[in-house]
Amino acid sequence: MRMSGPLLKVENLTKHYPIGAGFLKKTTPVVRAVEDVSFSVEAGETLCIVGESGCGKSTVARLLMRLVDPTGGRVMIDGTDIAGLKKHELRAYRRLMQMVFQDPYSSLNPRLTAGQIITEPVENYERLSRKQREALAADLLHKVGMSPEMMHRLPSELSGGQRQRLGIARALALKPSIIIADEAVSALDVSVQAQILNLLMDLQQQLRIAFVFISHDLAVVEHLGHRVAVMYLGRIVELATCEALFAKPVHPYTEALIAAAPVPDPTGVRFEAPVAGEVPSPINPPSGCTFHPRCPLAVERCRIEVPPLVPMTDGRVVACHVRAPASGMQAQSAAARDCPTARLARANEPIRASEKPNIS
Partner 1 sequence: MQMHKTIRHDVLLDVRSLETHFYGEESVTRALGGISFQIMKGETVGVVGESGCGKSVTALSILRLLPKLTARTVGGEVRFHGQDLLKLSEQEMRKIRGGKIAMIFQDPMTSLNPVYTVGHQIAEAVQIHTGVSRSSALTKAEEMLRFVRIADPERRVSNYPYEMSGGMRQRVMIAMALACSPEVLIADEPTTALDVTIQAQILRLIVDLKERTGTAVMFITHDLGVVAETCQRVIVMYAGRIIEQASVMDLFARPMHPYTQALMRSVPDRRRGRQSRLPEIPGIVPNLRDPIIGCSFAPRCPFAIDICREKTPVLREIESGHTAACWRSEEIVCA
Tell me which residues touch partner 1 (CB under 8 A).
52-53, 159-161, 189-191, 193-195, 197-198, 201, 216, 218-220, 222-225, 242-243, 246, 256-257, 259-267, 269-276, 278-279
Residue 233 · residue 56 · CB < 8 Å: yes
- Which CB, 257 or 318, lies closer to partner 1? 257
Residue 220 · residue 55 · CB < 8 Å: no
Report in angstroms how near the CB of residue 355 gets to partner 1 at its nearest: 19
Pinpoint the alpha helices (H) of the chain.
Answer: 57-64, 87-94, 114-123, 130-143, 160-172, 190-207, 218-224, 242-247, 252-260, 300-304, 326-335, 340-347
Report in angstroms how near the CB of residue 273 gets to partner 1 at its nearest: 4
Q: Which of 67, 82, 70, 91 is nearest to 9 (CA)?
A: 82
- Which CB, 209 or 224, lies closer to partner 1? 224
Output the 3-class SS for 207-235.
Answer: HCCEEEEEECCHHHHHHHCCEEEEEECCE
- Which CB, 107 or 215, lies closer to partner 1? 215
Report in angstroms how near the CB of residue 277 gets to partner 1 at its nearest: 9
- Which CB, 56 or 274, lies closer to partner 1? 274
Distance separating alpha carbons of residues 226 and 14, to the nearest angstrom: 24
Distance separating alpha carbons of residues 332 and 347, to the nearest angstrom: 9
Q: Which of 243, 238, 242 is nearest to 211 (CA)?
A: 242
Report in angstroms how near the CB of residue 79 gets to partner 1 at its nearest: 29
Run of H or E including 239:
strand 235-241
Residue 264 · residue 341 · CB < 8 Å: no
- Which CB, 107 or 204, lies closer to partner 1? 204
Report in angstroms how near the CB of residue 27 gets to partner 1 at its nearest: 25
The number of CA neighbours under 13 Å toward the Cβ of 27 is 3
- Which CB, 206 or 341, lies closer to partner 1? 206
Count CB neighbours of 26 within 10 A. Answer: 5
Report in angstroms how near the CB of residue 152 gets to partner 1 at its nearest: 19
Report in angstroms how near the CB of residue 81 gets to partner 1 at its nearest: 32
Name the β-bridge partners of 30.
Answer: 18
Report in angstroms how near the CB of residue 52 gets to partner 1 at its nearest: 4
- Which CB, 72 or 296, lies closer to partner 1? 296
- Which CB, 152 or 223, lies closer to partner 1? 223
Q: Roughly what angle, to the nearest 10 degrees, separates helices 114-123 and 130-143?
A: 110
